[in-house]
Amino acid sequence: MPNFNIDNRNKNSFDAIVIGSGISGSWAAKEFAEKGLKTLVLERGKEVKHIKDYPTTNLMPWELKHGGLVTQKVKDENPIAARCYNFLEDSQHFFTKDKEQPYIQEKPFDWIRSYQSGGKSLLWARQTQRISDLDFEGPLRDHFAVDWPIRYKDLAPWYSYVEKFVGISGEYDGLDVVPDGEFLKSMGLNSTEQHFKNVVAQKYNNQRHVIYARCAHITENKDIFAQQGRVLCQTRDLCRRGCPFGGYFSSNSSTLPWAQKTGNMSLINNAVVHSIIYDDKLEKATGVLVIDAITKETTEYYAPIIFVNASAFNSNMILLNSKSNRFPNGLGNDNELLGKYIAFHNYRVNISAEYDGLLDQTTVGRRPTSAYVPRFRNVYKQDTDFLRGYASGFYARRNINMNKDGIGESLKQNLINPSYGNWQVGAHMMGETIPKEESQLSLDSSKTDQYGIPLLRINLDYDDNDEKMIKDYIEQFTEMFDAAGFKNIKSHDSHKAPGLDIHEMGGVRMGHDPKTSLLNKYNQLHACKNVYVTDGACMTSTCTQNPSLTYMALTARACDHAIKESKKG
C-alpha cells in the first residue's frame, strides 16, 4: 500500500515558498524562478491577470454609471476602504471590502488592503526615491530606534538592479538625501513648479530643493521592457484601473508573468496562510499551512526557503500565529518584540494656494507624477524640537473655467473653448513617525476570523513628535509659498487616523542584535535562518521616502543571499 502522506508531501514540495504576490513577493517569485528554483507563490486573494482582469481600464467617462464616484450604499458598507483617495467607481474592485477581513482597532487605524494577484501594486502611487545613508544612520545618530544593519552601499547595486527592470522616470539631481538612480527621461516640471523650484533654491541658499518626483513609469523604449511586454506610459493617468500597456510597473504586468514564463513558478490564489510550520527537531521552518479561502480546506506546502511578503501587518500576523514548542509566542520571537515598533508616514496635512503669475502658460496632458520636496529638516544636524523630518509632494495646475451657458451650438462652443483661471498649487506632507514599543500589533485571545485565525489588534497613534512636525510643516511651507508669490494660502489638518498613507512598516525589524531585532542584515529571522521577511514589516525606521522601491531592492538582495546559502547546503 502506498504511503499517501509521503506522496502528498512530495507533490506539495518546492524549492522556495513566497507568501504574497504584491510588489515584494512578486520580486521574490521572479528572482527564484529565474534562477531555476521551483517556486510556489501563495496569494490569499482572487486571481487578477494582466489586461484580462482590468474591467474598467478602457471605459470612457460616460460609461461609468455613477460618474466615477462610489454610491453612498457602498461607502456605508465600507467606511474604512471608502476613506482611501483611490477608492472610486473604476477601481473599487481592487480593494478588499471591510467585511471580508475584520480587525480590531485599539486606536483608530484605517487599514487599506488589496487581496488579489499583484496586491496593492495595481493601486500604488508609483513614487520611487532611494533611501540614503542619512536615513540608514538616522536611528544610531538620533537614538530613536535600533541601528540599521545595512548602509546605502549595501543596497545601492540592488536599487540599480531593480530600477533597470522596473523603469524609473527621473532626473539626476545630485542630492545625498535622495541618491540618484538608473533613470529614464523625465516628464518634466511645469512652469509654475519650476518657478517654485527656483524661488526655494534662491531663498534657502540651495539648502532646500524642489525636484521632479521620480516615478515607476516607462518613458523610453528599452529591450528589457519589450521582453516584459510593456510599452511607453500613455500619460492617461488612469493607473488605478490597471494599465493595459504596462506603462507603469505592477506585479501583474511585469514580475509575475516574468516568473511564470520560466515554467518554475506556481501561483495559488485564494490561499490564506494560517502559519509557518516549524520543526523542533530540525530546528528550521519546513513549510506553510494554508486554508483555501473558498472551501476552508487546509493544505500543507513544504520548502527549505520561505519568504514572507504578505504586506507589513499580514506578515506580522502570520509570524505571530506561527507557534510551536520552540516558539510559543510566534516564529522567531525570542525577544518578545515581534509586532512591536510599528510606524507609518504622517499624511495628515496639506496646504493650498493660488498663483496669478505665468498666466500665458498652462499644462498639456495628464502627467502621472508631480514635483517633490525632499526632507530638509534635521538632515545634517538637529535643528528643530522634533526628531527626524518630512518630505512633501508639490503640484501646480491651471484652473479651467467651463462656461455652460447657451443651448445647442452656442453651448457646444462654450464647452470646447474653456477659459483658464489662476494656477492652483498644493503640497502634502509625508512625515516620518518614530517606532515605539507601545506601537504594536497583537493577536486577539478569543476572536477569530472566518478562517479560524485570531483577529489582528492594532494599537498605533500619533504622538507629540508628530504634532510638532505638523506645526513646523505648516510654518515652513507657508513661508515658502509666500516667498513664491502664492496667494490665499490655506493649510488643512485632516486629523485623519493613521493608515491612509498605506505605508505601514515595522514589527519584524532588521538589526544587528537578536536581543533588539528580529531580522539580520540579509532579512533572515535571527532565530530561524531559512525564513526571510522583505516587505514593509522588515523596516527598522520609515524614513520619509515612498518605501516600495526599497522593498523591491531588499527582496532582490535577500533572494540572492538565500540562493547562495542554499547552494552551500
pLDDT bin (cut points 50, 70, 90) of residue 402 is: confident
Where is pLDDT greater, at 567 or 338?
Answer: 338
Query: What pLDDT is recorded for position 7?
Result: 64
Residue 537 has pLDDT above 80, yes or no: yes
pTM over cut 0.85: yes
The end-to-end CA distance of the chain, in Å, is 33
DSSP 498: T
Closest CA to 227 of 192, 201, 255, 186: 255
Average pLDDT for 199-218 = 98
Strand-strand pairing, 168-169 and 349-355: unpaired
**What is the full DSSP assignment across 354-382?**
EE-S-TT----S--S--EEE---SSSSS-
Q: In one letter, which amino acid is 27?
A: W
Query: What pLDDT is recorded for position 436?
Result: 97
Q: Where are the alpha helices (DSSP H) in 382-503?
A: 409-416, 464-483
Query: What pLDDT is recorded for position 52?
Result: 98
Residue 6 has pLDDT above 70, yes or no: no
The Cα 101–Cα 139 span in angstroms is 34
Closest CA to 43 of 18, 24, 23: 18
Residue 545 has pLDDT above 50, yes or no: yes
User: In 41-50, which positions are buried (b, 16+ CB within 10 angstroms) versus exposed (e)?
Assistant: bbbbbbebeb
Using an 8 Å Cβ cutoff, are 159 and 214 in contact? no
Residue 569 has pLDDT above 80, yes or no: no
Query: What pLDDT is recorded for position 5?
Result: 59
Residue 2 has pLDDT above 70, yes or no: no
The Cα 191–Cα 194 span in angstroms is 5
- For 23, 480, 552, the CA distances from 255, given in Å and listed in that order, are 9, 41, 11
3-state secondary structure 5-71: HHHHHHHCECCEEEECCCCCHHHHHHHHHHCCCCEEEECCCECCCCCCCCCCCCCCHHHCCCCCCCC
The Cα 18–Cα 288 span in angstroms is 10
Residue 364 has pLDDT above 90, yes or no: no
Average pLDDT for 484-510 = 98
Closest CA to 342 of 540, 165, 196, 562: 540
Share of the chain above pLDDT 70, in %: 99
- Coil, strand or helix at 532: strand
The Cα 502–Cα 448 span in angstroms is 24
Residue 427 has pLDDT above 90, yes or no: yes
